[in-house]
Structure 1
């Protein structure tokens, strides 16, 4: 070893440490549990469903094609409201000085998930309120919801995406359309039960709002957010999940001070 290649013991130790970490990561990847990943997110496009009063998603082209240097290049500008498509509602959305989307702890958006199915209870009037009794029926089969769970409700609404009239009751835009919204939601009493009796980390639905379509006071939002419990809305593909035994990961865009943000939600279902 000549003078140009000689390294002090501390440098060698650092290299060995990095090398061992790389090997550990490779081994972890090889030993990762077998199973399947389920994408619970709708994609963002021109037909993405937004609240009637919110700005819809817009994608405009900066450049797409061959450059004068002979290679392909594409880039786009994006715009739209925080609350639309698959997204998270941060507690500050309805609770002053509570967590904004960038401050929600990651561990609150990652954890064991459960799915409670209520699609068979929803009639022609889709303004169904999920009740404590709905949760207790699920628990009669599976046991009490464990502390720290992320609870998802499958109302069957996702099958209507992206038809806004079928999905949320109206395709109209503007303030006057809000009165025509019609879709299921979680009752304030059920929200209170989940927060106080089951100590959940987060809750989600396959609808545009955690409150039902006809709500004007948004009591469920207020109940959850007062306790810093975030809500996932417009969740997709819940029919692809078992009712228990999976891990949920919901990572929103990290918007400083934001009241919500577009979110990629996925679930890992291990092989049995």
Structure 2
């Protein structure tokens, strides 16, 4: 199966990520470079520009930034057993010295809103949030669209056939990519009833959950036959709502595959060749945490 040169791709990606962080525009044009460790943004951009004459290395990226994370507020959806996001506004305003000052407080469960499931979430002695290799959180997205199947069945299980169909269509395997499962469920956010299948809270509500997820057989196939960096989905869990054993979680976490849940705007990404940056809150010992996730879409 076809795959682009990984060294060239990684080099392009790091420069794209650096410049994206400094850009004030959604539009981005990036060229290759050879060393970006301690250089300024201007120096990196200069290197990229000077490399334009080298046809061997030239492969500029042009694209736009897409936000894949929901904002955290009172409407953020959490698991029925969690209290949700709490924001306490400080005594913000103009101080006696004449300058404006604001400082607030928040409390949150690790798992809610757009967030990371670290491997230790379902696998003892595996990586905690701060231990995950950064290379797993950065890379090309492979977006698997199963919206039609999920529209007809809220309990749809994304199977091996769906994944193999993507590979056949795009003439490549899931190799060193971040797999993103697009079910279309984000259209229901933040309506708890439609998004979760129930508006109830508490342990008794868990059995009432209905939303699509990844079949355990498909999770097993990915970790045994493919090499993925991470996986994400636009629902509340990588396991479908009616799961009681959370087998896909167990399989993926047992193989140190980070999981991203409640991802938004997957309808704005192409099936392949967009770049994803998924950086969670760095909680020492954490089983997950809030996630700021973006994509750079090449046009």
Establish whether TM, by shorter chain, passes 0.5. Answer: yes
| Mapped contact 1:112–1:150 kept (Cα < 8 A) | yes
2:142–2:174 Cα contact (<8 Å) kept: no
Which residue of the partner structure matches residue 24 of structure 1? 43
Q: Does residue 37 of structure 1 match 2:65?
A: yes
Paired with 1:86 and 1:43, the residues of 2 have a C-alpha distance of 8
Q: Which residue of 2 aligns with 1:190?
A: 218
Report the alpha carbon displacement of residue 33 of structure 1 after superposing the two structures with TM: 3.1
C-alpha deviations, 1:10-52, integer Å up to 9, x for none? Answer: xxxxxxxx99766523425768732111111111000000000
> Equivalent residues in 2 for 1:109-128 (5 A)?
109-123=137-151, 125-128=153-156
Residue pair 1:125, 1:182 contacting (<8 A) in 2 also: no
Structure-2 separation of matches of 1:22 and 1:164: 43
Distance 1:22 1:239 in 2: 31
Aligned counterpart in structure 1 of residue 277 of structure 2, from 234, 249, 253: 249
CA distance in 2, matches of 1:80, 1:98: 23
Q: State the number of aligned residues.
A: 254
Q: TM-score, normalised by structure 1?
A: 0.89
Change (3 A) 1:28 1:197: same
The residue aligned with 1:13 is none
Q: 1:41 to 1:28 in 2, by over 3 A?
A: farther
The residue that corresponds to 2:248 in the other structure is: 220
Cross-structure match for 1:15: none
CA distance in 1, matches of 2:106, 2:113: 14
Structural RMSD (CA) = 1.9
Which is worse superposed, 102-111 or 31-40? Answer: 31-40
Select which of 71, 76, 94 maps to 2:99. 71
- Matches of 1:19 and 1:162 in 2, distance apart? 42
Give 5+ residue unaligned stretches, structure 1.
1-17
**Shift in CA distance, 30/52, structure 1 to aligned 2, threshold 3 Å:** farther
Using the size of structure 2 for normalisation, the TM-score is 0.81
Structure of greater relative contact order (alpha carbons < 8 Å, 6+ residues apart): 1
Q: CA deviation at 1:146?
A: 3.6
